[in-house]
A and B are shown apart, each in its own frame.
Chain A
Amino acid sequence: MTTTTTAVPVTTREETPPVRRRRRGLAPGRRLPATRLIGPALLLALWAAASAAGRLDPGAVPAPWTVLRTAGHLWTAGTLPTDIATSVERAAYGFAIGLVAGVVLALASGLSRVGEALIDGTVNLNRAIPTLGLIPLFILWLGIGETFKIAIIAIVVYIPIYLNTHAALSGIDSRYVELAEVQGLSRLRFIRQIVIPGALPGFFVGLRLGVTGSWLGLVVLEQINATSGLGYMMFQAQNYGQSDVILVGLLVYGVFGLVSDSAVRLIERRVLSWRRTLSS
């Protein structure tokens, strides 16, 4: 730096110029590890503090440690594992059937005009009817056993998967269609190499909605038509005023929801690794 001795003071920059020009970054920035757990952890701390300070009615909202103790009791008594297994099985069956149905129908209607004419309108009609409103009819048809529960969950799951996958399949960029023609791709290759990879992002949107939907369907079914499972456990607890048992049920539902959603996100990140989006 040169120092000048003139009457007018010259402002010389003291610090070395920054390597990078400051520019407001619009992407939200690098994700901190496990940041998504901060919110829940804070909530848990608040709950514990309020319970310890005696600000919560233990009959309505028992302390976290009471809930944990109850969970331990229920687990060792063997009822909790059975209830969880029953619920997971329902959700898994329903989800699997819904997933397959959603994908197959979306492929059939997204890849052929005949399929679209037959399927798309029908699914949209199905969508217009709130699925949970079908419960009474399904009980009449299928009885109050497992089948109707799985059927309802499957319907809740297949609709978002179908809608998003179908939209992605039929919304394929016409420029890529042109490219496929120029490169002389066969129809099968065009579908495998262009249409399906291009539709994957849409499919994953539907998949995540479907996963959420499967738990939602499960909770509703088990709360109003419970004969076994987590919902049944909570329903019984309500009759006996055991709020801690209800909270154990909610906790388990919450953990399932979180774990399954994270699993889908993980798969999505792997499969769509070519994408550089804000969340990467």
Chain B
Amino acid sequence: MRQTKIIRNVWLGIENLLLHKLRSFLTMLGVVFGVGSVVAMLSVGEGASKEALEQIRKLGSNNIIVSSIKSAEEEATSTQHSHMSIYGLTYEDYRRVATNFEGVQQAAPVKLTRKDSRLRERAMELRIVGTTHEWFELVPRQVLAGRVLLHSDQEKQAPVAVLTEFGARKILATEHTIGQTVRMGGDQFEVVGIVKSESGQAGNIQIPDQEIDAYIPIEVARRYFGDIFTKRTSGGDEREMVELHQILVRVDDPKKVEAVAAGIERMLESSHKKKDYVVSVPLALLKQAEATKRTFNIVLGSIAGISLVVGGIGIMNIMLASVTERTREIGIRRAIGAKRKQIIYQFLIETVVLSTTGGMIGLGVGVLIPFLITYFSGMTTLITLNGILLPLLISMTIGILFGLYPAIRAAQVDPIIALRHE
């Protein structure tokens, strides 16, 4: 009963608004754009934070990535012919980080090299990483076939290789390749598994398994390939001696990630003469992403908020005009016996109908915008239930807030004066 009454009142409000279709439409435009921008903003913001989280997940949120870089001085001298640059992380660095370093749970060394390789009649250059079984715990990736590196491979210094999905595709390996021999450089390796690879980067940190084709035990890599690499460049051969290219570190407690990173930084500082390493913390990226998102939300939120307020003022303005225009009608209703609160109710329903209709149209616009953004820029956008309910709630509130004053004005109309009003 009560419910049908509300529906009836809403319907009467709609009827009245339909008497002035163009005016009603123009009145709600402000709310349409306000809500539209709120919805669009929320979805872009949500999308960005989802994307950031996804990246952090790929990098490992408890991880620290220490990478070798050529120091600035080294960069300057390396152009000289037959010069060999020596830089980067050492086996000693790895040993110190991996054993008894405060807060470190696990660490994996990374030694990168490129070798001409051959699987049956298919020949390709593969990017090879020498590492330990810990790698696969620090950077968990789905095993597509076979297995990953084991502790026993290390002990036995077994010539085994785990291909990434990416590398497997390059060299035309399939699950049937497991157990077959792949030749890398001058040596034979047994293919023992294929793992899924992820690509992408977050900020300036690359996903650790970006551009890796095959994993082999690090001891094997060291024994077979050594620490000296020759890069062919246009100016002749360039030789480098790098023991380790990366050390992946997992911290036991996410709260300690930054402190441990600082500890590693200090330790490296004391043992390296040059700054030929960089310590990156994916978690810091997350914080950075969140800070960016917050700023983003504040800026766009205030713009959206301003347009909503402007929309609300537009509605209020028109409703005030409408009250003046309908003074006589109000007088008639009051003379017949309508109470003040019933007049308030009538006008309030009209504004709320206006603003919520505007809100719903705005929702449509606001859903379309992120869709177009994703379509044209490839940026991730995400529309959540909150992203829909919040703007509708806001538009309803706007209707009540900005409708209240005109409605109260309407209720203050003196019926005697109103009835004389021509």
Q: Does B associate with A? A: no
A residues bordering B, Cβ < 8 Å? none
